[in-house]
Amino acid sequence: QVQRVESGGGLVQPGGSLRLSCPVSESIFRIYAMAWYRQAPGKQCELVAGITSGGSTNYADSVKGRFTIFRDYAKNTVDLQMSDLKPEDTAVYYCNTFPLANDLWGPGTRVTVSS
């Protein structure tokens, strides 16, 4: 079991792209889906995308068609490729299980989409 440490965030203009990355715990991934969540300033945390160990994926309607979640086996991570970013995507992004096994979160990685 590994510590979740998200990476890949940054400041981009609308329409830009970022790739977020999160280490995978194989023992956890065998019994839970892995997911990306985000929390925008002043808002509640929301589920963005999830992926099972079998490769099944699910996306929030707000990101469907723009974000892709996938397993990077070379890096042993679950990545979130974010394209056509919009200002409303601005948030701190976190990885965790789905469903949530606990309320222990990594530091997150901040995504800011602004002109």
Please state the separation of Cα 107 from the chain's center in Å.
Answer: 12
Coil/strand/helix, residue 87:
helix
Question: In which residue are the tokens 């099944």 written?
Answer: 56
pLDDT of residue 27: 81
Is pLDDT at 7 greater than 60 in this prediction?
yes
Residue 23 burial by CB count (10 A; 0-12/13-18/19+): exposed, middle or buried? middle
48-100: pLDDT as tens digits: 999 998 999 999 999 999 999 999 989 999 999 999 999 999 999 999 999 98
